[in-house]
Structure formats: C-alpha cells, structure tokens
C-alpha cells in the first residue's frame, strides 16, 4: 500500500513568519506533527511519504505513485486543500481527508472519497482494516476524546529536518477554560488528557536520536491545563536536559495564570523553556466577560507578563479586536497595553467566528454570520456583522498594527523585554543561529532603511544584556517580518 501524505500550503500571513525564513535558510516554522503522529499508527508494511507543501512542491509523479493521498489540514489551509484535492482527483487517485479543517467543515468538501473526523486514535484500527479489505466507508468519526497514553512515537523519518526552524511534540490535549471564540474545546475537550512522563520523555529521546538539535515547540492547547501532571513531568525533563547537555530550547502555549505559579515558572525556566504564547485578547474587561475569558479578568495582566518574563521566559501574545463590547476607544487601549507590556511579538487579529464554536452558534442565532471564515484573523476579513461599524473596525485595526509594528514602537518593546528578562541562560548555538546572525548583519544592518534601530539593539544588548544577545537579534528578525507583512496587506 502506497500512502502519500500531503500537508497543504499556508497563505502568507503574520503567523507564517515567511520573512524570518529568509534569514535562516529554512522553508517552514514547524512540521505537521499530526501527520507524523497518525503515520506512526499505520502498518509498517505500508510505504508512506510526506509532502509538506510549505517546504517542497507537490509533483504529479508523487500523486501518481500513491494508492491513496491522505490530506491533513487546518482551516487556514482551506484554499490550498481544494487545489490538492483537485489535482489528485484529476489523476484518478482517491483522497482521504483528516484534521481540524474537515472536522469543522466536512460538508465543504463533498469531492473527498473518505474523511476521518475528530481524533484518529480510537478509530484508526477500524479504518486500517476497512482499507486493507477494500471496503472503506465515506465517513469515520470517533465521537469521543480518547486517551493519548498509548500513542506511538512520531515518524520523524518522514520529515526533512533541514526544512524546519523548530520541531514539534505534544504532551497534552484540551484546555480547562471555555472561551467563546475558541474551537479547542470543540476539537479537544475541556479535560486535558496527558501522556505519561515516560512516554513523553521517550518521544524527546527519539527526536534526539533522530538528530534534531534546537527549538522544540510543545504544541499543547494549554501546557499548564493539568498542573499536577506538568509538575510531575518537569523534574524528569530537567534531568534529561542536563544529561543531554541541553540540546533543545522549548516554546509552548499556556494561559496567563502561569504567572501566579512561581514554582512552575522556575521549573520551566530551568528546563529550557524560552518562550510561551498566551492569549491576552484584550485589556477591556467587558470584552473579557463577553468572551468568557475570566482567567484574564481576575489578574493584573501587565504584572503577569512581567512575572513570566522576569523568570527568563519571553511572552508572545495574541490580541483580538472586534468583540461586541469593544468601545471605539479599544484601538488606543490595545496600543497602550501592548506598548506598556514589553511583549515584542504581539499578534493582533480581528475576531473570527469559527464554525461549531459558542461564538459561531450565537451569531447564527442572531443572524449575523456573513460567510465562512478564512481561518486567518490578520487578513482583514470579517465573517460576521460587527457591532462597531465595519469601516471603523477595519480602519482602527489598521491603525493598531501600523503603530505597534512601526520600528520605533517595536524596538521599544524589545528593549523593555530585555530589561524585564533577568534570568537568561546562554543559548546553545546551532547552525540556525549562526546563519541568522550573519544574514541579519546584511539585511538589517546594511540593506534595511531602519538599520539604526538594529545597530542600537545590537550594540546595546551585547554590552548590557549579553546572555540575551541572540534572543535580541532573533526579535529584530521578527520585527522585519511584521513590517514586510504590513506592507503587503490588501485591506
């Protein structure tokens, strides 16, 4: 059995970090972890290949080799997915769809031969038996949230490590919070399901043996969703990192209440966590209440960010504009909050109504859904009728991102982060760091018209914050990407 996995191309967005790749000679930020995880559940007798279209072209001969093409995708990859399906059907090859895109919008792809909805663990055995028996059903759906304690180690051999900035692993699925706009609860549930410590450490060991060194993204919906399990994991992770001479640098996602647990912050810092993405969304309390983000409302979020960064972990954050409760002053409030916070990587997007979320169902009842979401909350599209005038919202959004990504404001936040980040470890240098450094000298230090900011950061961080020097240079590359993407916006 010849199985070709295809991961469709992402559109160019603020989230794609397309222009960062230019500095470090990489093709994509992260690999498709879901693909290499499910691939490990399939029979070893099957021949499997993977084409990640974010890193390489899908050729006709790749499609012709396959007995089946398995397409895995997220909502933002919708248009790329349509093109992949069209090409495969044109070659007479059957296509099986799986992943969040199809679980949310399976009816949008009637041309699929077969579709696997939700998580694969509990139905993969039935799917394999039916495929080998030549009796595949149209739809396979788990309908539950299966244990993840018996998932085999991902098929790292299907990936070309040279293409990626970071590898990806997973410890848990699900989040205990229930934000109105978020589809995590729909896809993965509210009760975090965790792997065992032994199982997770085995995955890191296998990744290490496969030859990876550098950044590792722990892709959990909320890394601290089950604090008891995390606090059991972190000591083992710290021992392993010391034994292996710190081969990885971790980043993950977590709720902002991480800031309240100093013990956990200290443990994560010692384990090599360098970045954490948090959903701050908005400084406006009524909007937090509206979207059920109560965990953010009850704490001082500026102080929370500073606590995390003081532990040596950079806070990257998501912000949303377009809530019903947003006043006209929300644009200036967002700008002021972001500038005061010291969050350099501040990802601001418009509110999106994703199918099957509580927000989507509410807006359907109110007759306010205009179209399906593109999956990209930074492309200026609105798939629902907002309370604020559409023109006011779009113009205000433009003003926010133009202001916060302007070199002067962006570099101010980088400097604030360097001052807040008091406990940095010197990074283990990899080829990615070295290549990025020398390319930054040319692209940012000579070619870029805003090079004065770069050289001020270069010299200042080298003198005042030497342990954070590499991080400072990385942030200058991120700023370049944001400015480039800003110029390409069509709205």
For the segment 388-406, what is each residue's pLDDT rounded down to a tens digit? 999 999 999 999 999 999 9
- Binned at pLDDT 50, 70 and 90, residue 412 comes out as very high
- Binned at pLDDT 50, 70 and 90, residue 423 comes out as low
Residue-range definition of the domain harbouring residue 459: 431-488
Q: Name the nearest CA neighbour of 224 among 290, 269, 176.
A: 176
Q: Please check whether residue 76 is in contact with residue 48, taking contact to mean a CB–CB distance below 8 angstroms.
A: no
Tokens 């240079």 belong to residue: 473
Q: How far is CA 354 from CA 100, 325, 361, 362, in A?
A: 11, 19, 9, 11
Instruction: Tell me if 149 is assigned to some domain.
Output: no
The Cα–Cα gap between 204 and 299 comes to 34
Shared domain for 412 and 445, answered yes or no, is no
Shared domain for 40 and 128, answered yes or no, is yes
pLDDT at residue 379 in the model: 86
Shared domain for 235 and 372, answered yes or no, is yes
Instruction: Tell me if 425 is assigned to some domain.
Output: no
Q: Which residues are CB-contacts of 59 (< 8 A; sequence separation ≥ 6)? A: none
Shared domain for 343 and 436, answered yes or no, is no
Query: pLDDT for 227-251, tens place per residue?
Result: 999 999 999 999 999 999 999 999 9
Tokens 């995955």 belong to residue: 203
Torsion of CA 271, 274, 278, 282, to 10 degrees: 140
pLDDT of 447 above 70: yes
Tokens of 328: 């006209």
Q: Which residues on neighbouring strands pair with residue 369, listed in sequence order?
A: 384
Mean pLDDT of 143-156: 94
Q: Whole-angstrom distance between the N-terminal and C-terminal Cα of the chain?
A: 47
DSSP string, 30-79: S--HHHHHHHTTS-TTSEEEEEETTTS---HHHHHH-SEEEEE--GGGHH
Instruction: Tell me if 408 is assigned to some domain.
Output: yes
Count of structural domains within the chain: 3
Q: Name the nearest CA neighbour of 379 among 410, 352, 409, 407.
A: 352
Q: Name the nearest CA neighbour of 73 among 34, 38, 43, 124.
A: 34
Shared domain for 54 and 8, answered yes or no, is yes
Mean pLDDT of 148-168: 97
């Amino acid at each position: 059995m010849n199985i070709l996995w295809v991961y469709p191309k992402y559109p160019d967005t603020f989230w794609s970090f397309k222009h960062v790749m230019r500095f470090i000679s990489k093709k994509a930020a992260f690999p498709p972890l879901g693909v290499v995880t499910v691939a490990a559940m399939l029979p070893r007798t099957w021949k499997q290949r993977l084409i990640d279209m974010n890193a390489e072209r899908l050729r006709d001969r790749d499609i012709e080799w396959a007995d089946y093409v398995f397409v895995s995708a997220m909502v933002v990859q919708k248009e790329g997915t349509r093109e992949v399906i069209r090409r495969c059907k044109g070659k007479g090859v059957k296509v099986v769809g799986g992943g969040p895109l199809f679980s949310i919008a399976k009816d949008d792809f009637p041309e699929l031969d077969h579709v696997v909805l939700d998580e694969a663990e509990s139905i993969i055995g039935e799917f394999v038996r039916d495929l080998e028996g030549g009796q595949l059903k149209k739809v396979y759906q788990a309908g539950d949230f299966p244990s993840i304690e018996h998932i085999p180690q991902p098929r790292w051999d299907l990936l070309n490590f040279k293409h990626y900035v970071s590898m990806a692993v997973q410890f848990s699925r699900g989040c205990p919070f229930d934000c109105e706009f978020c589809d995590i609860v729909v896809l993965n549930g509210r009760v975090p399901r965790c792997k065992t410590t032994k199982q997770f450490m085995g995955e890191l060991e296998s990744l290490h043996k496969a030859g990876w060194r550098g950044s590792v993204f722990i892709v959990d919906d909320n890394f601290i969703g089950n604090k008891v399990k995390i606090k059991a994991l972190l000591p083992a992770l710290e021992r392993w990192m010391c034994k292996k001479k710190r081969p990885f640098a971790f980043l993950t996602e977590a709720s902002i209440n991480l800031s309240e647990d100093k013990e956990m912050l200290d443990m994560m810092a010692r384990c090599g966590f360098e970045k954490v993405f948090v959903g701050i969304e908005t400084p406006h309390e009524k909007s937090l209440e509206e979207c059920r983000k109560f965990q953010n409302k009850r704490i001082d979020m500026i102080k929370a960010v500073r606590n995390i960064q003081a532990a040596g972990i950079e806070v990257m954050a998501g912000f949303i504009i377009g809530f019903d409760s947003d006043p006209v002053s929300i644009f200036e409030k967002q700008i002021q909050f972001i500038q005061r916070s010291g969050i350099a990587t501040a990802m601001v997007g418009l509110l999106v109504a994703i199918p099957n979320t509580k927000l989507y169902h509410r807006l359907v009842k109110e007759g306010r859904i205009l179209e399906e979401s593109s999956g990209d909350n930074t492309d200026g599209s609105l798939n629902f009728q907002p309370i604020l005038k559409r023109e006011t919202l779009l113009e205000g959004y433009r003003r926010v991102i133009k202001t916060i990504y302007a070199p002067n404001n962006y570099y101010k936040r980088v400097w604030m982060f360097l001052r807040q980040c008091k406990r940095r470890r010197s990074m283990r240098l990899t080829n990615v760091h070295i290549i990025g450094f020398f390319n930054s000298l040319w692209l940012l230090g000579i070619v870029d018209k805003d090079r004065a900011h770069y050289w001020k950061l270069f010299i200042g961080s080298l003198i005042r914050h030497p342990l954070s020097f590499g991080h400072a240079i990385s942030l200058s590359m991120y700023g370049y990407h944001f400015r480039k993407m800003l110029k390409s916006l069509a709205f």
